[in-house]
Structure 1
Amino acid sequence: MSEYGKFRKRVYCRRCKNDTNHQILLKHTVDDEIPEYNFYMTEDYMICECMGCETVNFVKEYDDPSMHYYSPEDEEQIDHEDIQVFPPKPLTDKEETYEMKKYKHLPPLLATLYKQVVANVELKYYLLAAAGLRMIIEGICNDLSIKKGYIIDDSTGKRATDENGNEIKSSNLNGRINGLSEAKILTEGQTTILHIIRGLGNQTVHKLEEPKQGIILDALEIVEQTFYNIYELKKFDSLRDKYAKKS
């Protein structure tokens, strides 16, 4: 248990999909008081951790005299609460979960990005999910040291060349995706699909246009298959090497 102890009230956990007990990892309190008006206010800002799944979230609690009063009719003290949790509980009563795929060989950073994209999909934050999918593609290129690649001439649909007929290479994400094909990590057909996700991410980031749920789910499925093709097939390589040594 942390030095701050357990938060006094169960609050929403985005992973458990329920209100759960949380322990306070870090707490900062802001106080203000106006004595002549008998007014005070207190705000507690807390980083909390679910005591079930250990997911971390942010909790803010506000308090002032207006939130406490005596009700003559009910003959009891009435206490209101102002507790906010971030990320917040979904507004819809219908909670949706996405079944994440399990990967044994996925690099830690890509695994983290994948979890965050899925969390945004479950919360229906499709703008953030689209941006995260684009970041995953960049992360794959970084992990595999793909620095650049050819680009396509939009007017001809072929690889762009300079005045001397040499292929033009680019270090932007467009070129780096094609670099995956040049390195024979993915086929040209597979990289074409990644270009669609790249375009989706660009449209989201630059134009702030929210994509539809179906498009995001299709893109996420493609990324999952890409993870499998690039990283999980390594187990078959090790199996091949193992039997090659025996023969």
Structure 2
Amino acid sequence: MSDNILRSRLYCRNCQIKQLHELVMNQDNQPLKYVETKKKKVKHRHNQDITELDAAKEVSLAASNSIHEEVECLFYDKYVIVKCRGCGETVSFVKMTTNELAIESVEEGKDPYTYKIYPEPPRRKYRLQGKYSFQHVPQWIKELRNEVVRAFEQGAILLSLAGLRMVTEAICKQHIDIISSGIDSNIEPIPNNLSLQKMIDILLDHNIITKPHHVILQKVRVLGNKAVHQFTSQDRDLIHIAIEVLDNLLYNVFDLEQSKLAQNDNFTF
């Protein structure tokens, strides 16, 4: 395996599985990295490899313990930028940690490093599986929605709530622009400075959203306002449900009309 490829597989937030990663290189074909070394005196168990976790535990033991000896050990923290070899596009930041004893005693083919990748992998319970491909959702709204999902998976509750409100406003503005462009010249145009509450009402008035969607969007608006202005958090399961509802709404208001079945004029009832 090339020296530019990490030996251990790390989580890719795009592939949503563990993949091999390679170092990102600069213009001189050198890896973008920073190495920090630190020397520690640690208690080392005889005939046993040492790890940083072992070191933390052994330092606290009494020096009189006969099965330990005090040794000087260099620890290495290497910080690198990597790219997933699975999707070929996702870039992450990785902290690689090892020590000289681990490097000396490691078996051939084994990886002496431990890794910490950033952004961190989502907690398994809250790793969202997308149900929709969103073929016709405007790209800027899709990217906004994806940022909300990433924030939620990383446990950023307040950011998730603020982001959900932003997605709601994005949906409203996109459709109000469409409504405004089709309004008869004899009808009073829709003002530009509407509140989000009023914009949601207009979507209901024009049958773009259903009454249940209207109720939920108004709740998302209020929760987002409280998160931004009062720093009020909410239960993660509630946010999970809100994301799934907005996903369903995105599909209904952007993709459903463009589906093959909806476009098939030969279908008769």
Q: Under TM normalisation by the shorter chain, which class is it? A: 0.5 to 0.7
Change (3 A) 1:98 1:56: same
Partner of 2:172: 141
Q: Would you say the 8 A contact 2:97–2:115 is kept in 1? A: no
Change (3 A) 1:148 1:169: farther
Q: Percent identity?
A: 24
Structure whose alpha-carbon radius of gyration is higher: 2
Provide the C-alpha distance between the structure 1 equivalents of 2:226 and 2:121, rounded to a whole number of angstroms.
27
The one-letter amino acid paired with 2:32 is H
Provide the C-alpha distance between the structure 1 equivalents of 2:120 and 2:6, rounded to a whole number of angstroms.
17
Residues 97-176 of structure 1: pairs in structure 2 closer than 5 A: 97-102=127-132, 103-146=134-177, 170-176=193-199
- Deviation, structure 1 residue 240: 6.0
- SS of 2:144's partner is helix
Partner of 1:22: 21
Structure scoring higher RCO (CA < 8 A, sep ≥ 6) equals 2
Alignment TM-score, normalising by the size of structure 2: 0.59
Per-residue Cα deviation, 1:33-87 (whole angstroms, up to 9, x for no partner): 9xxxxx99875341x33222446242233679xx32489xxx8479974643111
Per-residue Cα deviation, 1:194-246 (whole angstroms, up to 9, x for no partner): 110111122222333331122112212321231133112313698468459xx
Q: Which runs of 5+ in 1 are unaligned?
A: 34-38, 150-166
Aligned residues: 212
Residues 66-77 of structure 1: pairs in structure 2 closer than 5 A: 67-69=99-101, 76=105
Q: Would you say the 8 A contact 1:57–1:85 is kept in 2? A: no
Per-residue Cα deviation, 1:5-31 (whole angstroms, up to 9, x for no partner): 434543232355554211234553346
Alignment TM-score, normalising by the size of structure 1: 0.63
Q: Which runs of 5+ in 2 are unaligned?
A: 26-30, 38-73, 181-189
Residues 1-247 of structure 1: pairs in structure 2 closer than 5 A: 5-25=4-24, 28-30=32-34, 43-46=78-81, 48-54=82-88, 56-61=90-95, 67-69=99-101, 76=105, 81=113, 83-90=115-122, 94=124, 96-102=126-132, 103-146=134-177, 170-187=193-210, 189-235=212-258, 239=262, 242=265
